[in-house]
Structure 1
Amino acid sequence: MDLTSEVVMRQIDLLKGRVLFINAPTDDLLSQFTDDITASIWCWNFNDYQYFQSQQSKVHFGVEFPEGEFDQAVIFVPKSKELLNYLLHNVASHLSAGSSIFLVGEKKGGVERAAKQMQPYGKTLKIDSARHCQMWQTHLEKTITPKPLSEWVQQYTVDTPNGELTICALPGVFSQNRLDVGTATLLPYLSKVTSGKIADFGCGAGVISAYLAKLNPKNRIFAMDVDAFALTSTQMTFEQNQLEPEQLEIKAVTGIQDAPLFLHAIVSNPPFHQGIQTDYNASENLCKTSRRHLKSGGELWIVANRFLNYPTLIEQNFGQCTIKADQQGFKVLFASTQKNIKE
């Protein structure tokens, strides 16, 4: 059981009624509860969603607050301060005055900093500290008015050879305030990507997807991410730039194995974080197995930190890997499948 779940179990007597667990770890916490707790889950990580579905839990996947009424909420601290603000505001606008909001997290994950974000909603007290974790409680002083999702979006512009793009990013999405260096390094090469069915793996706020769609109106973009906030941001980016909705297909995935087959290209600034933890599995699997999702002559374009061993992984699986750029700590990598003579 996750350390944060162990701390929740130490305070199980404080939980009662319809309890919403937000960003909960994928363990057996819910199976430990007695009948006086009716548990629901709100998550935005597609891997987490599939886990809770397999446990027959009542789970909601998405960026919006789940439907229904709740007596209490337990928030497991996310990595992003902005995302926690969004969660707290949503909880405070849906629970009744006097309800308890609990916050639990690891000390190294910033739980003490996070607890300060609860203070505007009511008196906040630390109720437990164990297993290098803390649990805090706030009694909601008053219900507040919900804010529409559009008010949580941050926008910034990206200059491209084909004109300016306005990027829309929701709380918690990678590089929410500005274009990241890796994607900036890759952008000049997107005009070289073959046209057709293209997957943007780890789409984030939709910079790559939107630019590929802007480059060629015949491109069909599959924007793939594990994170519902990223997928919704990409959708918003397309709408903001008045790109054709028929060009875009939003797809929640657990990894590259969920990508369509017979793609003309896969383009990625691959993710390497799960919450506060570094996790290279998704990006390494992309290097190892993306070939099976490409048609003959299909292309793989990746930008990655210079120190990562992706060129070797790609070469082992494609037979070759070309380094198109090596600058500012990032490499742009290219590989293609062998062209079938019959095509």
Structure 2
Amino acid sequence: MDPRSEVVIRQHEYLSGRVLLINAPTDDLISHLEQDIESSVWTWNFNEYQYFLSQQANVHFGVTLPEHEFDQVIIFVPKAKELLNYILHNVIHRLSLGASVFLVGEKKGGVERAAKQMQPFGKTTKLDSARHCQMWQLSIEKTVTSKNLADWAQQYTVNTPNGELTICALPGVFSQKNLDVGTAVLLPYLNQVTSGKIADFGCGAGVISAYLAKLNPKNRIFAMDVDAFALESTRMTFAKNQLTPEQLEVKAVTGIEDAPLFLHAIVSNPPFHQGIQTNYNASENLCKNARRHLKSGGELWIVANRFLNYPILIEQNFGQCTTKADQQGFKVLFANTQKKS
């Protein structure tokens, strides 16, 4: 069991009534809670959502709190400070004065810094510190007013060969405050992508999706991500740039296996972080399995750190891999399925 869950179980006497677990580990914590506790889960990670569904948990996937009522909340510290601010604000808006919010996290995950973010809302107390984890309790002494989701989005401008794009990125989304180097290296090559039905795998805030839509109004973009905040950010980016909504289909996925078939192209700045951990599974699976989602002559475009072994994986599955660019520590990789003569 995750050590963060073990801390919660040790302090179970503080829990009562309807308890909402936010960003909870994928383990069997729920089955170890006392029988009189009515637990539910909120996650924005589609993989974790699928796990909790398989456990018959009462689970909600999305960017907003579940609508059902709850008495207490346990927040497992997310990676991004801004995302914790968003969660705290929305939780405190929903709970009554005197209610408890618990914060659990690893020291290396920034739990002590996160605990300070609770201080403006009431009295905070450290309940436990063991196994490199801590558990804090906030007793709410202050109410907050509701804020629109759009008010939480950062906006920045990206200059492209076809004009400016305004990017909208919600808390916790990759590259929330400015354009990342990898996507910047890839952008000049996107006008070479074949037109048609295109998947943006790991869409983030929608930079690649929006630019592909802007390049050709006939392109149909499938924006895919595991993160609900990324998917909502992509929707916002499309709306902000007045791109045709019919061009975009947003899809929560566990991996490339969930992509549509018969695509003209798959374009990706693939993800390799899962929380604070490095995880190459999704991007390696993309290299291995993209081909089966492409039509004859379909294209794969990837930008990735120079040190990663993606060219070898792509060659093994496509028969060839071309390096279109190698700059600023990133490579733009290209492959296509051979057209049948």
TM-score, normalised via structure 2 length: 0.99
CA contact (8 A) 2:12 2:34 kept: no
Q: CA deviation at 1:301?
A: 0.1
CA distance in 1, matches of 2:97, 2:73: 13
- The answer for the alignment partner of 2:51 in structure 1 is 51
Q: Give a deviation string over 1:116-142, Cα, whole Å, max 9, x none.
A: 000001011111001110000010003
Would you say 1:318 and 2:315 are equivalent positions? no
Deviation at 1:305, TM superposition (A): 0.2
How far off is 1:65 after superposition?
A: 1.2
Query: CA offsets per residue over residues 156-186 of structure 1, 9 Å max, x none?
Result: 0011111110000000000000000000000
Look up the match of 2:256. 256
Question: What is the aligned-residue RMSD (CA, Å)?
Answer: 0.5
After superposition, where does 1:322-333 map in structure 2 within 5 Å? 322-333=322-333
Q: Quote the Cα distance in structure 1 between the aligned partners of 2:147 and 2:317.
A: 48
> What one-letter code is carried by the residue in structure 2 that aligns with 1:31?
S
Contact 1:205 1:237 in 2 (8 A): yes
Assess if the C-alpha contact under 8 Å between 2:170 and 2:233 holds in 1.
Answer: yes
Counterparts of 1:184-199 in structure 2, within 5 Å, are: 184-199=184-199
Are positions 1:88 and 2:72 aligned together?
A: no
After TM superposition, the structure 1 = structure 2 runs for residues 1-343 of structure 1, keeping only pairs within 5 Å, are 1-341=1-341
* Alpha-carbon distance between aligned partners in 2 of 1:53 and 1:211, rounded to the nearest angstrom: 35
Query: Which amino acid in structure 1 is aligned with residue 50 of structure 2?
Result: Q
Q: Would you say the 8 A contact 2:304–2:331 is kept in 1?
A: yes
How far has the Cα of 1:144 moved from its partner? Answer: 1.5
Judge conservation of contact 2:4–2:105 (CA < 8 Å) in 1: yes
Gaps of 5+ in 1: none
- Is the 1:18–1:71 Cα contact (8 Å) retained in structure 2? yes
Deviation at residue 220 of structure 1 after TM alignment: 0.2
Deviation >3 Å, runs of 4+? none
Question: What SS does structure 2 have at the residue aligned with 1:174?
Answer: coil
Structure 2: gaps spanning 5 or more residues: none
3-state secondary structure, aligned to 1:97? coil
The size of the alignment, in residue pairs, is: 341
CA distance in 1, matches of 2:99, 2:68: 15
Conserved 8 A contact 1:223-1:249: yes
1:68 Cα deviation from its structure 2 partner: 1.6
> Quick check: 2:198–2:220 contact (8 Å CA) kept in 1?
yes
Stretch deviating more after TM superposition (139-148 or 91-100): 139-148
Q: What's the secondary structure of 1:118's corresponding residue?
A: helix
2:65 and 2:32 mapped to 1: Cα distance? Answer: 25
| 1:231–1:250 Cα contact (<8 Å) kept | yes
1:102–1:138: 8 Å Cα contact kept in structure 2? yes
CA distance in 1, matches of 2:306, 2:33: 47
What displacement does 1:148 show?
A: 0.8
- CA distance, structure 2, for counterparts of residue 176 and residue 157 of structure 1: 12
8 A Cα contact 1:86 1:171, kept in partner: yes
The answer on whether the counterparts of 2:167 and 2:205 sit within 8 Å (CA) in structure 1 is yes
Amino acid at match of 1:239: A
